[in-house]
Amino acid sequence: MKLAAAGSILGATGLLGAAARAQTPKTLGLERLENLAKSPLSTSEKPTEYKHVTSYNNYYEFGTEKEEPARYAKALKVRPWSVVVEGEVAKPRTFAIEELLKFPLEERIYRLRCVEAWSMVIPWIGIEFSRIAKLVEPTSKAKFVEFVTAYQPDTMIGARLPVLDWPYLEGLRIDEAMHPLTIMAVGLYGEVLPNQNGAPIRLVVPWKYGFKSGKSIVRIRFVEKQPKTAWERANPQEYGFYSNVNPEVDHPRWTQRKERRIPDFFASRQTVAFNGYGDQVAGLYAGMDLKKFY
C-alpha cells in the first residue's frame, strides 16, 4: 500500500513536471538577453513555437528551401560585427554589435506575414529603429532608408548562385523607418537571434510582407531617392517597394486573402490589411492608391 501511494505521488509530480516543461519553450540555449521591457505594442496572440520559428525560414543566401537556412546558416560569421550608419546624416557612425546590445531592449511580440501566404507570431527582442536614427541626426534630405544585409560568399552557399542581386537590399520611406513599430531585432524568445533568423541584427517591419525585414544588417544608409530593392530588381511585377500586407491585392500567382499560420496545414486565417497594424500605420499612406502597392 505504502509503496503504491509513494508511486502515485511520484507519478503526479512527474506529470506536473512535464506540464511545467511544456510551458517553457525549448530553445537552442543561445546567449540570453536580460532586462527586457514588455511593450504595449506586442500582440496577445500565442507565439509560434520556437522550433518552427527557427526551422521554417526564408534566408535565400543559405538556400531557397525552408529547412536550408537552419542547416547552412551555422556557417555565418557573426563576430566581429558592426553596422555602418551613413548617408544623409549629420553624424555618421559605426556601431559595434556589442554597443547595440547595450541599448534598452524590448520584447515585441509581432505577427509576421510572408508574401508566400504563411504567417507566424514571433516574440522578437529589439531596439526601436528611431533610437538608432536619432543618434546620427538625419538631415532634411533623408527621405528614405536603405538596409544592406551581409554578403559572405565564403559562408553563404545560396549566395553563390545568382538568385538575387546580392547583397540583399531593402528600403523604407523615412517615416516608415521612424515609426515606433519598426525595430532592429537582436533576439527572439529571450535569446540572441539564431543565425537562420538573421543574426546578429535584423530589421522587423510587422505591417509589411516579410521580405521587407532584411536579415543580418551591416549597413544603413539615409538617402534622398527611393532605393531599388533586391526583390524589385529581381521581379518588379511581383514585389514592389511598399509591399504593405494587403488582402485586397493578389500576388500575380496566388491570392493574398488568406494565410496559413505555421504549423497549420490549411490557410484558414483571413489576412488583415497592414497585417492588423492598420490603426497605427494606415495614416502613413493617406492619399496613396492602396490597390497599387506592388
Ligand X SMILES: Nc1nc2c(c(=O)[nH]1)N[C@H]1C(S)=C(S)[C@@H](COP(=O)(O)O)O[C@H]1N2
User: Which residues of this protein are in contact with ligand X, per CB under 6 A?
Assistant: 57-61, 112, 114, 149, 168, 197-198, 210-211, 213-216
Residue (206 or 210) nearer to Mo ion, CB: 210
Name which of Mo ion, ligand X, none residue 231 binds, using a CB cut-off of 5 to 8 Å depending on partner kind: none
Considering only CA atoms, which of 25, 73, 44 is closest in space to residue 188? 25
Give the span between the Cα atoms of 189 and 35, in whole angstroms. Answer: 13
Give the span between the Cα atoms of 120 and 188, in whole angstroms. Answer: 13
CB of 162 to Mo ion, least distance (A): 19
Give the span between the Cα atoms of 223 and 145, in whole angstroms. Answer: 6
CB of 50 to ligand X, least distance (A): 12
Site for Mo ion in 244-283 (CB under 5 A): none
- Residue 118 binds Mo ion (CB under 5 A): no
CB of 209 to Mo ion, least distance (A): 6
- Residue 69 binds Mo ion (CB under 5 A): no
- Residue 114 binds Mo ion (CB under 5 A): yes
- Residue 158 binds Mo ion (CB under 5 A): no
Residue (149 or 246) nearer to ligand X, CB: 149
In this structure, the number of other CB atoms found within 10 A of the CB of residue 7 comes to 10
Q: Which residues, at least 6 apart from 33, have a Cβ–Cβ distance to it below 8 Å?
A: 101, 105, 125, 186, 187, 190, 191, 192
The count of chain residues that interact with Mo ion, using the rule CB under 5 A, is 4
Contact map string, positions 200 to 229, toward Mo ion, x by CB under 5 A: ----------xx------------------
**What is the C-alpha R_g of the chain?**
21
Give the span between the Cα atoms of 270 and 259, in whole angstroms. Answer: 6
- Binding positions for Mo ion, rule: CB under 5 A: 58, 114, 210-211
